[in-house]
Structure 1
Amino acid sequence: MSGSDKDAVAIGIDFGTLSGRVVVAAVDDGRELASAEHVYRHGSIEEQLPGTDVGLPRNWALQSPDDWRDVLRQAVPKALSAAGVSADQVVGIATDFTACTILPTLADGTPLCELEEYRDRPHAWPKLWKHHAAQPHADRINAVAAERGEDWLPRYGGKISSEWEFAKGLQLLEEDPEIYRRTERWIEAADWIIWQLCGEENRNICTAGYKGIYQDGKRPDRDFLAALNPDFTDFNDKLEHPLSPLGDRAGGVSAEAAGWTGLNQGTAVAVGNVDAHVTAASAKAVGPGQMVAIMGTSTCHVVNGEDLTEASGMCGVVRDGIVPGLWGYEAGQSGVGDIFAWFTRNSVPASYQAEADERGISIHELLTELAARQEVGEHGLVALDWHSGNRSVLVDHDLSGVIVGLTLATKPEEVYRALVESTAFGTRMIVETLTSSGVPIEEFVAAGGLLKNKWLMQTYSDVLRLPITVLTSEQGPALGSAIHAAVAAGAYPDIRTAAEAMGKVERHAYEPDQARADAYDELYAVYAELHDHFGRGGSDALHKLHKIASEADK
């Protein structure tokens, strides 16, 4: 089959934080024929286990595996029907997932939370990417690795995150040893959903490299694991499985999955992937120097490079991690859209909401309109975007948000503007850290839900002093997955060729304004000063506050 087959379609599924989205795309040019969304019944489980009276501690975030199956059962048939295509036209299906979202299962893939005896045990449930309760375990992993001089540590910028596989695994062992012992497979949701589709286990190089400390063909050795905890030496056994390259075929749709989805049994299923990394394909950003920022509740930044360099505070650098043949670099901000949503939920006067309702616009649109009237720096504020901790470049989820410069005259729209600017400053910190470490960034490509806010995007262009190319598909990860599905089905020889044919972008949709960029340089200098003061040892106030709050919450 070739990409010129006008009737062939590919399906991409993006499993997000609160819902799963399905896109049916034409293989020849990436036209999106239809899409469908399924909102998870349980969403992000952060307060109480479903169907129980078991409450969850601070910084926990879980999910339900059956919510993910429901995307296959409901959204895939709905999207096929809306597209008006038959199962015979579908050449392949691919998925992407948030990461590290990980779960304990039996050897056959059964999630432990679905066993009756473990439904009321929090550690039996999948831990969502934004589960940050393993920070003390990550701290210990980093300290022991640094002391021992582990050669993999620099590949992660000198620190691994509390979000990743080993930190969450060590937390599991030390807080619920019985569940740890019962765990036969510790598996990323990105790989588990492929198991559901194919009926057999498959693991991908992307999540293993970025989230599972897999470098140069190996993971941390037993001596290192023993130094963390003598009972942790078998942890790799729960992860061990041959790794598949991105774009490969993982298998065919099983009889059971065919029944769920309405697809033909045997339809090609692509190897699993991560939402941010797969978006590089839909954004036509699979070459060196093209940074993709997937901007939503959080932001993930990925960029390919031809050479290996070790950049401080990066989430990881992995050979073949985004596309085969290149080194893929990842960084990120744990809270972006979540920060704006927090502010509108908790800090906006009722009169503002009433005005928004009267005008038939959202509170975000009203605040954006008011904020956009201000000159750069007029509000006298600078904020630190650490409301969900800092993923890059400090890799510390015990940090928290800061707003400096408040007065009795400060207005909600001014705080809103400062929060938006803080996330742009956080992205600039990441870009400058990478470029100063020898990773060229020649193009900035934006994707995700925040693209709808044109003022926000222009602010990012001004702060970064870079033109911004935008992904024109509203379903970037799902389209990226569809591109990978086409490659796995043999419609294209490789990801780069498929991305060029099926990707959707508008080059230089935003250009920096010189005057605003100059003004933002001054504000960014203040941001960088506060960033280093609170994040690099000038003050331990935020860590002390986190400790006080955690102890009071017990």
Structure 2
Amino acid sequence: MPTRPVSQSPHGHHYIGIDVGTGSARACIMNDQGDIVGLASENIGLWQPQTGYYEQSTTDIWRCVCSSVKAAIAQKNIDPSTIRGIGFDATCSLAVLDKDTDEPICVTGPYFDNRDRNDRNIILWLDHRPVEETEKINATKHHLLRYVGGTMSIEMEIPKVLWLKQNMSKELFERCKFYDLTDALTHMATGSDSRSLCTVVCKQGYVPVGVDGSVKGWQEEFLKEIGLEDLAEDNFKRMGGVDKVNGRYLTAGEMVGTLSEKAAADMGLSSGIAVGTGVIDAYAGWIGTVGAKVDLDQESLASNAPKNDVSQAFTRLALVAGTSTCHLAMSREPVFVDGVWGPYRDVLIPGYWMAEGGQSATGELLKHVIETHPASQEATSAAKASNINVYDYLNQHLNEMASEQSAPSISYLARHLFFYGDLFGNRSPIADPNMRGSIIGLSADKSINSLALYYYAAMEFIALQTHQIIQTMNKAGHVIRSIFMSGSQCQNEVLMKLMASACGMEVVLPKFVDAAVVHGAAMLGAKAASTDKEGKSEPLWDIMNRFSKVGKTVKPSTDPVLKRLLQAKYTVFLEQCESQGRYRREVDEAIRGWGRER
């Protein structure tokens, strides 16, 4: 498809990006130079009715989205008439609406008909209620599972749909229509029921037509085998239908429709604005970062491709790091990797394949380590007194400790502390939700010094596990040579240096270090706005190439001793990973039959 520039206007055009994360909804205003000229957010409500259950509300999220849009526009007094396109991204969470009325259907069991909870209609991505359902799905060993790394994750949506079927009344379940949260938001914005290939292919058991013999996308035989055969009725209408038959599935940023009058009134905008097909939030991080114009050592040595050709994306791993971390890589051909979700075709750029590794908890892990340490309150108070966050305070404290002890590096301080941090289960590359943490080197120290070391050890774990995921992906056929970061962890300088050195590759940080994901969503709006009367739009890579902004590049350490230390720590890390599984198997064998015989 030929490149078509986004049309210009004497007054300048603007595009809105909307990012719905786990804890907040954000809106940014991007001008036609790719600069963010307005940014606002509002916290989202979260309910946890019992351990492992996490729920949200589309009603509450829509309110937060609209409030954020209005605030972002007001910051620089942007003329709403200059807004040409809107793009959405959101967490991959399951939203449930009534198929006839579009009203929210409560997902809180066992009292699904509780009127006080009716708007709690989202099962969040990190909800771990469908344990048995996930095990049942994986026990089928269906060939479809090869597209999710060999096993379906408890974080995905199909196990959650199965849980609802097994816990709701038959009558209520039959009223349910299921959306990924991103698709629910574009539905609320436009009234269109079109779905994003990114959302359904990546997490819902959908294989694009023509891939691996797929005829309708949705796999009727698979749904029947796991007990969801009723979703195949009416050509899968309750899941979004069949493409070009009773449904429509679009790649990232394609124009899904225009802003409805009701949605426009809610946002303080004019109706008719182009709305682009949304993506899962991590994929918006890929869009917002990997197209940046930057000269990298490894790329210069290994690639003869034209500068910023789309082929350079094949060597760039996008790390989207917030509560959890997603590892996104594009390839020309499908690459199957155990424990890595995908490969998924056409979800971002037609014809290419995406793979998604991940860590279930990274930001959440650091938060947990800090909050559960005896010195947590002391550190938090000290950070507040210094008018900085607790992470920056601990980073400063680590540097001070290294200086006081004349240590060659912070890593030296934690040389005999071995921390394995899968406290919340493992997403990649082990794909085992039962994995947990372990520590070798515990002491009785309760001081801030002890907290700082445990915090550093947790960061070291995050970096070493990223190295493990990259090695696993490259061994399977990827060619990852650099890391492009987005998400809140970009702001952690110590972690970024550790990431570069542990992985042995450059880490590229975006200009909008705290807004790369929502910046990527705005690019989806720009693509939708470029749509002509024939339905053709500017290629997404060209938009990324024009609008992406580089901040700085963090290079790996050249210190040979630090390299040897991190390699030794990586060897121990792998042993901790392997031994935990072996210990569990040995114990399970020892107690086999115990309890059932008593």
Confirm or deny that 1:258 pairs with 2:264: yes
Structure-to-structure mapping, 1:206-285, within 5 angstroms: 206-217=198-209, 218-219=216-217, 221-229=219-227, 234=232, 236-239=236-239, 240=241, 241-285=247-291
Q: Check 1:416–1:542 CA distance in 2 against 1; reply closer, same or farther (3 A cut).
A: farther
Match of 1:483 in 2: 523
**What is the rounded CA distance, in whole Å, between the counterparts of 2:342 and 2:228 in structure 1?**
27
TM superposition shift of 1:388: 2.0
- 3-state SS of 2:123 partner: coil
Match of 1:49 in 2: none
Structure-to-structure mapping, 1:541-552, within 5 angstroms: none
Structure-to-structure mapping, 1:171-210, within 5 angstroms: 171-178=163-170, 181-210=173-202
Contact 1:278 1:322 (8 Å CA) reproduced:
no
Match of 1:127 in 2: 123
TM superposition shift of 1:315: 1.9
**What is the rounded CA distance, in whole Å, between the counterparts of 1:465 and 1:230 in structure 2?**
45
TM superposition shift of 1:223: 3.5
TM superposition shift of 1:137: 1.3
Contact 2:206 2:219 (8 Å CA) reproduced:
no
Cα shift readout 1:299-346 (whole Å, capped 9, x = no counterpart): 111111111121110122110123222111111111011111112222
Contact 2:260 2:272 (8 Å CA) reproduced:
yes
Match of 2:12 in 1: 7
Q: Which stretch of structure 1 is more off in the superposition, 157-166 or 221-230?
A: 221-230
Q: Check 1:206–1:64 CA distance in 2 against 1; reply closer, same or farther (3 A cut).
A: same
- 3-state SS of 1:224 partner: helix
TM superposition shift of 1:186: 0.9
525, 529, 532: which one aligns with 2:575: 529
Match of 2:475 in 1: 436
TM superposition shift of 1:409: 4.6
Contact 1:284 1:505 (8 Å CA) reproduced:
no
18, 21, 24: which one aligns with 2:23: 18
Structure 2 residue ranges without an equivalent (≥5): 210-215, 242-246, 292-309, 403-408, 532-536, 590-598
103, 110, 116: which one aligns with 2:96: 103
**What is the rounded CA distance, in whole Å, between the counterparts of 1:244 and 1:359 in structure 2?**
49
TM superposition shift of 1:247: 1.7
Structure-to-structure mapping, 1:401-420, within 5 angstroms: 401-409=437-445, 411-420=450-459
Identity, in percent, stands at 22
Q: Which stretch of structure 1 is more off in the superposition, 255-264 or 506-515?
A: 506-515
Amino acid across the alignment from 1:64: S
Contact 1:194 1:272 (8 Å CA) reproduced:
yes
Cα shift readout 1:191-214 (whole Å, capped 9, x = no counterpart): 000011002212000011110111
Match of 1:381 in 2: 417
- 3-state SS of 1:469 partner: strand
Cα shift readout 1:86-137 (whole Å, capped 9, x = no counterpart): 2220111111001134334333432113999344679962101111121321
**What is the rounded CA distance, in whole Å, between the counterparts of 1:220 and 1:527 in structure 2?**
39
TM superposition shift of 1:506: 3.3
**What is the rounded CA distance, in whole Å, between the counterparts of 2:476 and 2:65 in structure 1?**
42
- 3-state SS of 1:291 partner: strand
Match of 1:51 in 2: none
**What is the rounded CA distance, in whole Å, between the counterparts of 1:338 and 1:542 in structure 2?**
29
Match of 2:364 in 1: 338
TM superposition shift of 1:141: 0.7
Cα shift readout 1:371-419 (whole Å, capped 9, x = no counterpart): 3426425431222221221111122223222222213358221111111
TM superposition shift of 1:232: 5.3
Structure-to-structure mapping, 1:395-544, within 5 angstroms: 395-409=431-445, 411-473=450-512, 474-490=514-530, 493-506=538-551, 508-515=553-560, 516-535=562-581, 537-540=582-585
TM superposition shift of 1:451: 1.3
317, 322, 327: which one aligns with 1:301: 327
For these two proteins, the number of residue pairs brought into alignment is 527
- 3-state SS of 1:112 partner: coil
Q: Which stretch of structure 1 is more off in the superposition, 61-70 or 391-400?
A: 391-400
Contact 2:105 2:176 (8 Å CA) reproduced:
no
The TM-score, its normalising length taken from structure 1, stands at 0.89
Amino acid across the alignment from 1:61: Y
Match of 2:373 in 1: 347
Contact 2:19 2:89 (8 Å CA) reproduced:
yes
**What is the rounded CA distance, in whole Å, between the counterparts of 1:230 and 1:187 in structure 2?**
16
Contact 2:105 2:118 (8 Å CA) reproduced:
no
Q: Check 1:356–1:252 CA distance in 2 against 1; reply closer, same or farther (3 A cut).
A: closer
**What is the rounded CA distance, in whole Å, between the counterparts of 1:526 and 1:230 in structure 2?**
43
Confirm or deny that 1:359 pairs with 2:352: no
**What is the rounded CA distance, in whole Å, between the counterparts of 2:254 and 2:577 in structure 1?**
41
Structure 1 residue ranges without an equivalent (≥5): 47-55, 545-554
TM superposition shift of 1:368: 1.9
TM superposition shift of 1:347: 1.0
- 3-state SS of 2:89 partner: strand
The structure whose Rg is larger is 2
**What is the rounded CA distance, in whole Å, between the counterparts of 1:165 and 1:93 in structure 2?**
26
Confirm or deny that 1:39 pairs with 2:31: no
Amino acid across the alignment from 1:36: A
Contact 1:291 1:441 (8 Å CA) reproduced:
yes
Cα shift readout 1:478-527 (whole Å, capped 9, x = no counterpart): 11111111111117611111111111123533333343232111101111
Contact 2:201 2:344 (8 Å CA) reproduced:
yes
The TM-score, its normalising length taken from structure 2, stands at 0.83
**What is the rounded CA distance, in whole Å, between the counterparts of 2:259 and 2:97 in structure 1?**
23
**What is the rounded CA distance, in whole Å, between the counterparts of 1:154 and 1:514 in structure 2?**
41
**What is the rounded CA distance, in whole Å, between the counterparts of 1:234 and 1:523 in structure 2?**
50
Contact 2:104 2:118 (8 Å CA) reproduced:
no
Q: Check 1:173–1:121 CA distance in 2 against 1; reply closer, same or farther (3 A cut).
A: farther
**What is the rounded CA distance, in whole Å, between the counterparts of 1:209 and 1:542 in structure 2?**
38
Amino acid across the alignment from 1:360: N
TM superposition shift of 1:238: 2.1
Q: Which stretch of structure 1 is more off in the superposition, 457-466 or 352-361?
A: 352-361
Contact 1:170 1:232 (8 Å CA) reproduced:
no
Confirm or deny that 1:59 pairs with 2:59: no
Contact 2:497 2:554 (8 Å CA) reproduced:
no
Contact 2:391 2:492 (8 Å CA) reproduced:
no
Amino acid across the alignment from 1:362: N
TM superposition shift of 1:359: 3.3
Amino acid across the alignment from 1:389: G
Q: Check 1:122–1:389 CA distance in 2 against 1; reply closer, same or farther (3 A cut).
A: farther
Contact 1:315 1:391 (8 Å CA) reproduced:
no
TM superposition shift of 1:4: 4.4
Amino acid across the alignment from 1:340: L
- 3-state SS of 1:201 partner: coil
Contact 1:209 1:321 (8 Å CA) reproduced:
yes
TM superposition shift of 1:7: 0.6
Q: Check 1:360–1:524 CA distance in 2 against 1; reply closer, same or farther (3 A cut).
A: same
